[in-house]
Chain A
Amino acid sequence: RKEVEQDPGPFNVPEGATVAFNCTYSNSASQSFFWYRQDCRKEPKLLMSVYSSGNEDGRFTAQLNRASQYISLLIRDSKLSDSATYLCVVNEAGGSYIPTFGRGTSLIVHP
């Protein structure tokens, strides 16, 4: 069974802090990777894709480590509005496109 593991948290951080989440995956054939954000009682929405070379979008940086089979999400200068659950998603290579979701990491940013 494919496994995608995340620390559920919650991570409680003050505004302005830097926080990092990791997500490990068990299938070495995994092809593509994503971080989604889910607000309370809302649907998940794509935050960013994770590329082999790493990628950055404003205060958010995603990294992929294929050798150790994990992806990471770094949030700098945390805002109150960053409070949410962050879901890691991993897709296998080839064949049908069936993503596997992690259970999510809860982030609470406080004043």
Chain B
Amino acid sequence: DAGITQSPRHKVTETGTPVTLRCHQTENHRYMYWYRQDPGHGLRLIHYSYGVKDTDKGEVSDGYSVSRSKTEDFLLTLESATSSQTSVYFCAISEFNLDDNEQFFGPGTRLTVL
């Protein structure tokens, strides 16, 4: 299995509080991604990074920010959590290769916003 971990694995928080989720990889892959997965929506891209300090928005970026100060770490911050951000969050990594862009996913973080 690819070396990718997420922390915390579960979190319950209250509306209005900031929350930071961490993704850590040991594969030295260039690309890192944050997705959320909700019933009926599948996986939706929040933000992604294509290198240290290089990030861009995905499909559902409102209310989220990210940072990547090191190759191995990609942080997702919910600046002021809302109940609509209750979801399962997956981090993924990949190397940029046009022919074989396999993504490796972390185990997920289950976030509940009360």
Contact = CB atoms under 8 A, between A and B. Distances in A.
Chain B associates with chain A:
yes
Scoring A31, A91, A103 by chain B CB atoms within 10 A of each residue's CB, the highest score goes to A103
B96 A97 contact: yes
A14 interface: no
B3 interface: no
A68 interface: no
A34 interface: yes
A87 B90 CA distance: 15
A55 interface: no
A34 B43 contact: no
B105 A87 contact: no
Contacts of B50: 96-97
B99 A103 contact: no
B98 A45 contact: no
B45 A98 contact: yes
Interface size class of B (residues with CB under 8 A): 20 to 34
B99 to A, nearest CB: 7
Contact of A43 (B41, B58, B96, B106): B106
B41 A34 contact: no
A94 to B, nearest CB: 8
Interface string B30-63: 0100010000111111001010000010100000
17 contacts: A32-B99, A32-B100, A32-B101, A34-B102, A43-B90, A43-B106, A44-B105, A46-B102, A89-B103, A93-B98, A94-B98, A97-B94, A98-B45, A99-B101, A101-B35, A101-B43, A103-B40
Interface of A: 31-32, 34, 42-46, 49, 87, 89, 91, 93-94, 96-99, 101-104
Given A49-B102, A99-B45, A99-B101, 17 more contacts: A31-B98, A32-B98, A32-B99, A32-B101, A34-B102, A42-B108, A43-B108, A44-B43, A44-B90, A46-B102, A46-B103, A96-B50, A97-B50, A98-B48, A101-B35, A103-B41, A103-B42
